[in-house]
Amino acid sequence: MAVPHPLAPLSKAEFERARDTVVKLYGPDSSLFFRSIYLHEPPRADLVSFLQAEHDGTLTDSTPRPLRLAVAHYDVIHTATKHLEYAQSVVDLNLSWEIERRVAGPRDQAGYPPFEFAIFYDACVKSSLFKEAMAEFVLPEHFTVTIDPWPYGGLDPDDDRPRLLQGLVYARDGSNNNPDSNHYGFPIPIIPVMDVATKEIIRVDRLATGGAAQDGLEPAPRESDAKPKPLFLNSRPSEYVPELLDRPLRTDMKPINITQPEGTSFTVHPDNLVEWQKWRFRLGFTPREGAVLHDLCYDNRPILLRVSYSELTVPYGDPRPPFQRKQAFDLGDGGFGRAANNLELGCDCLGAIHYFDAYLTDPRGNPTLAKSVVCLHEQDNGIGWKHTNFRTDRAVVTRLRELVVQCVVTLANYEYIFAYKLDVAGGITLETRATGIVSVVAIDEGKRSPYGNVVAPGVLAQNHQHIFAVRIDPAVDSYAAGDSRVAVEESVPVAADPETNPYGNYYEVRKRTVEKACWLDAEPMLNRLVRLENARKKNEVSGRPVGYKLTPPPTQLLLADRNGLQGRRAKFAHHHVWVTGHRDGELWAAGEFTNQSTEEKGGVYDMVQRGDWFVDDEEGEQRVNKDDEDEDGGKNAEEQGRLSSPILWSVFGLTHNPRVEDWPVMPVEVHHVNIRPADFFTSNPALDVPSFKNKASVIVPCCGGRQDLKAANANSEAEEGTVQRDAAAHMQGPGPDLAAGDVGAHVK
């Protein structure tokens, strides 16, 4: 059997081998609950050696290969003591042998697996506390109750239990007999809190439902003799499924079909190697990140070793307790991969589509097939480049075709669509779309609130933010250690000077190399760019370093007080760019354990504090940190600074102050991170893209009239002498060309 590529996803047999290896480590006095099993990526040094041989064409059967490893995340419950620990085991798949095990600290909480969310409903149904809280309200006839489990957020000072889960409570109008009726339109002002270990509801928080600040931050006290409060007396349905809408569907939309009659231009190999045009990469998929791109190359020249979404935090800006706990970390607390949709042809992805499946684990460690969690397709993104020579009346135009790797996740009420887009001009775009249903709470009818927007009677959509972090591991035209570097470039105005800038129109392009780990912020007034460069290769035309550039999106960052609970938990969200030193396995912008954290630990802030550097000193000698050695003489390299390869983290956000138009389901908000070649090529890499006319395109006459399309095209081509065809109107000389000698030039 062929040996798998080091970056190929685990096969079903490898998945089961990893599980069986872990199970054998524990006896009958322990119970295991598996959270995830997936490929443990090789150490960078081992992987790079293999990739260099692969791309050089020197790969043979005797080429050293990185160990084929898997990582398993699981809970261990010790039967006698009822003690639970969260463990990670790295397994050598060839030897079926555990080579490493890490056990989380007592205050470190792993993300929630689906089975923990599943028990929340049952806990509420059994809970006398929940029933007592619900007894405060009267619901209309036919209404039922539904609950969304939610991450607990940061622990309050008086929270001493190790693992908690909270829930947002809603009602559903069952009178229409449709299970898809939108329950988010009927929020109930309580939040039950569950102790995950005991599966019991330990308290139910009552919520304030006032509007302005004078209503106070706390809910009105519950009177012991008060009658139950009727809910939803003047509420109205907020439906989005077609059969329940209060308006007819449009009937004037004609189909748009995307066809590729000669097939697609990409090739997908069995080990997830994708080749398209001059691009090649390997697609990975993890339960936490979802889709990951490895070894991204153009024309066999490496650009990025790895790129992935690393974290997303969603803090809510309502100061009324307990809403300070509404701060999800959607990758660390839940996981993009675990929440990935099974994509549907003709709905999520249009055209000629290739789908990728992935294996996820059930609690017993069995591989369960997640179908169609990533889609791959080509799309047209408008004009790629064009120039019209009005002297000759000839236009050359090409289309900007893209290859799209797309994944869609649903996390409670929200959907995120994230896509990696590669284009024929060597560009890389990370596109993020947010849609779904805004998180809402109850508000007293007739009131307004500074904490959000009333989107329906009694329904307040709270102000909040979505702040993403993308991790980028550069390998610009080289895999070799020390070849990649990061630089910052700015375009700076220069004051008028009689000698150097007499008319004041000069501006200076300033550039500096990032020499040590740091953070940066976007600055559109300076056109601040982050360049990923090769430290040793120069462009043969410009003489500048071969590279790619990233323009940090100048989006608003975390608004919560930096010293408050939300600010301490998401230090990564304080800056647009972080540059840190590489360590194997460091993938998480907010640290590995985000669930119930009170402080970001092990994230980019700590990585910067470590003090890594990226260039040698002026004498060319590598600096040595004297603190690198501990008392035993061993290295403590994970905690101390050292010479390292740079890792770039791009942070961008969406501040969402809801509109009525976001209800009951919001149109997509779209954000882009653009990574573009900057002196990587010696000319426009899309010059060789064919320029041809799409024969399926037709003219559509105006005013609903009909006419012969051939005649229409012929008439449009026959028109002469309009200003639009006048070369001078386009600032081009009308011609004919002048003989060089006639205008005074010397001719040899």
* Per-residue pLDDT at 620 exceeds 60: no
* Cα 20 from Cα 470, distance rounded (Å): 34
Identify whether 648 is part of a domain: yes
Identify which has the larger pLDDT, 183 or 630: 183
Query: Residues 640-681: pLDDT tens digits?
Result: 899 999 999 999 999 999 999 999 999 999 999 999 999 999
Count, residues in the chain: 748
pLDDT classification of 312: cutoffs 50, 70, 90? very high
**Catalytic status, residue 414:** yes
506 catalytic per annotation: no
Distance CA 723, CA 709 (A): 24
Phi, psi of 245 (to 5 degrees): -65, 150
Judge whether 328 lies within some domain.
yes
Domain check: are 588 and 717 in the same one?
no
pLDDT reported for residue 624? 41
Helices (H), 598-689: 604-610
Judge whether 183 lies within some domain. Answer: no
**pLDDT average, residue stretch 35-61:** 95
Do 539 and 580 lie in one domain? The reply is: yes
Say if residue 732 is in the same domain as residue 595. Answer: no
Cβ–Cβ < 8 Å for 507, 500: no
Residues in CB range of 123: below 8 A, 6 or more apart: 192, 194, 199, 200, 201
**Among 76, 103, 130, residue at a domain's last position:** 103
Please compute the mean of the pLDDT values over residues 596-601 and round it to a whole number. Answer: 96
More confident position, 516 or 636: 516
* pLDDT tier, 489 (very low <50, low <70, confident <90, very high otherwise): very high
- pLDDT of 712 strictly over 60: no
Report how many domains make up the chain: 3
Residue 374 has pLDDT above 90, yes or no: yes
| 712 shares its domain with 601 | no
**Cβ pair 340, 290 in contact under 8 A:** yes
CATH number of the domain to which 69 belongs: 3.10.450.40
Q: 257 vs 18, 115, 350, 372, 381, CA distance in Å? A: 44, 41, 8, 21, 15
CA dihedral 469, 470, 475, 481 (to 10 degrees): 30
> What confidence tier does 633 reach under pLDDT thresholds 50, 70, 90?
very low
The domain boundary, picked from 103, 135, 167, lies at 103
Are residues 485 and 529 both part of a single domain?
Answer: yes
Task: Please tell me which residue in 108, 318, 330, 679 is annotated as part of the active site.
Answer: 330
For residues 345 and 483, membership in a common domain is answered with yes
**pLDDT surpasses 80 at 720:** no
Tell which residue, 299, 614, 267, has the closest CA to residue 474.
614
| The residue to which tokens 């320029």 are assigned | 691
Identify the band that residue 369 occupies on the pLDDT scale cut at 50, 70 and 90. very high
Amino acid, res. 22: V
Strand partners of residue 284: 292
Least confidently predicted of 36-50, 252-266, 520-534, 720-734: 720-734
Q: How many Å apart are CA 272 and CA 292, to the nearest integer?
A: 11
pLDDT, one tens digit per residue, over 144-160 is 999 999 999 988 888 88
Give the rounded distance of the alpha carbon of 89 from its chain centre: 26
**Which residue type occupies 457?**
P
Q: Between 97 and 1, whose confidence is greater?
A: 97
**Which pLDDT band holds residue 81 (cuts at 50, 70, 90)?**
confident
Residues 36 and 94 in one domain: yes
Whether residue 90 lies inside any domain: the answer is yes
| CATH number reported for the structural domain that contains residue 596 in this entry | 2.70.98.20
* Within-domain flag for 309: yes
Give me the pLDDT at residue 250, please: 95
Asked whether residue 320 falls in the same domain as residue 380, the answer is yes
Residues 598 and 720 in one domain: no
Task: Give the structural domain span for 499.
Answer: 266-624+637-677
Return the minimum-mean-pLDDT range out of 14-23, 221-230, 294-303, 427-436: 221-230
pLDDT at 159: 81
- Among 434-448, 538-552, 706-720, the minimum mean pLDDT is found in 706-720
**Residue 220 located in a structural domain:** no
pLDDT per residue over 382-406, tens digit each?
A: 999 999 999 898 999 999 999 999 9
228 within a domain of the structure (yes/no): no
CA-based nearest residue to 69, from 13, 12, 3, 14: 14
608, 710: one domain:
no
Peptide bond into 736 cis (omega under 30): yes
- Joined tokens for residue 508: 């200076």
What whole-number distance in Å separates Cα of residue 7 and Cα of residue 41? Answer: 7
Question: How does the average pLDDT of the chain come out, rounded?
Answer: 92
Residue 667 and residue 712 in one domain: no
Flag whether 214 is in a domain: no
State the average pLDDT over residues 2-28. Answer: 96
673 and 707 part of one domain: no
Say how far apart CA 270 and CA 283 lie, in whole Å.
Answer: 11
Query: Which residue of the set 74, 414, 416, 548 is catalytic?
Result: 414
Can you list the alpha helix ranges (DSSP code H) found in 672-746?
709-718
